[in-house]
Structure 1
Amino acid sequence: MNPSLTLLEAQSKLEYYCSYQERCHQEVVQKLYELGMKSQEIDTIVVHLLQHNFLNEERFARSFARGKHRIKQWGKVRIVNELKARHIAAPNITAALSEISVAQSQETFDTLAQRHWETLREPNAEKKKKKFCDYLLRKGWESHLVYEKMKELSSSTSSD
């Protein structure tokens, strides 16, 4: 906490903070509080960042959805919940989900499910199914997809 930080110094720090990674409003406000800024100064800086396109909630949401889906292999449920936790507006969440194609989502889900099923070393079939479902549900995949895939994989391994 640096109480001697001027408005321009804080603004400059936040421009840099927003330029090397997309940020949501909540992260920016939190950072400003950590820097010891007052509410009125925070409002001024946030408006400046918005006007100069350092801060754009839709761009953040789209980038967040693409990254979490591609890198962490999260499903839409988890992505939506995480965006809501960051106070992202519903239209921006919808825009973010449009970044993930149905084909891309299905391919990611199939690959992840197959890989996880094969790595589970659980002799008890029911426990294996539960572990499989819990993992994919935690990753934010829709329950109907998870249960269909579990049935498909468990029947294919039991018939081998």
Structure 2
Amino acid sequence: MEKKSFTFEEIKLKLVNYCVYQDRCHAEVEQKMREFLLIDEAKEEIILYLMKENYLNEERFTRSYIRGKFYIKHWGKTKIKIHLKQKQISDKLISICFDEIHEDDYEKTIRKIYQDYYDKQSGLKDYQRKAKTIKYLISRGFEYEKIIDNFGNA
């Protein structure tokens, strides 16, 4: 099937819409641009335009990503950070944006997930339930130290 060709302005508009629909990071926009046969100068011009007009804002993307993954998906900071790094977001920006997660919400979430998962484990000795639950929280991206701080003597 032949690829439909678009004018520069049509491609620019498609990428504006792509960014308006949902916050995007540079890596996602660059990936999307690969669908269109653009020379490097055109890609650069579009990226600069999207940034200048605030359609593309790496900090806004990072903050919204962190909020969504924590408050909706209940991921821990470790898992969030790994996924943001895969999107080429810098450590510095990630650290700055982690203030989107309130510390008491973070600890409450750890306690709730811990309790829910712990209660579901049956037919196991207490220490086995505890070990399995801690392992589960780590797999969700929560830091071992944080889990132990909340459940040192659970």
Give TM class, smaller chain. Answer: 0.7 to 0.9
Query: Deviations 1:17-44 (Å, cap 9, x if unpaired)?
Result: 1001110100000001023333322111
- Alignment partner, residue 13 of structure 1: 14
Structure 2 portions without partners, runs of 5+: none
Structure 2: which amino acid aligns with 1:50? Answer: M
1:76 maps onto 2:85 in alignment: no
Which portions of structure 1, spanning 4 or more consecutive aligned residues, are displaced by more than 4 angstroms? 124-127, 148-151
Structure 2 Cα separation of the partners of residues 14 and 61 of structure 1: 19
TM-score normalised over the length of structure 2: 0.88
Structure 2 Cα separation of the partners of residues 148 and 136 of structure 1: 13
- Alignment partner, residue 24 of structure 2: 23
Structure 1 portions without partners, runs of 5+: 154-160
- Alignment partner, residue 99 of structure 1: 100
1:127 Cα deviation (Å)?
Answer: 4.6
1:142 Cα deviation (Å)?
Answer: 0.9
Structure 1 Cα separation of the partners of residues 123 and 88 of structure 2: 39
Query: Deviations 1:75-124 (Å, cap 9, x if unpaired)?
Result: 11111222112111233212220111111111111111111111223525
- Alignment partner, residue 131 of structure 1: 132
- Alignment partner, residue 156 of structure 1: none
TM-score normalised over the length of structure 1: 0.85
Structure 2 Cα separation of the partners of residues 99 and 3 of structure 1: 42
CA RMSD of aligned residues (A): 2.0
Structure 2 Cα separation of the partners of residues 39 and 122 of structure 1: 61
Contact 2:33/2:43 (CA < 8 Å) preserved in 1? yes
> Measured at CA, do residues 36 and 124 of structure 1 come closer, stay the same or move farther in structure 2, by a change above 3 Å?
farther
Paired residue secondary structure (1:42): helix
Structure 1: which amino acid aligns with 2:92? Answer: P
Structure 2 Cα separation of the partners of residues 151 and 60 of structure 1: 35
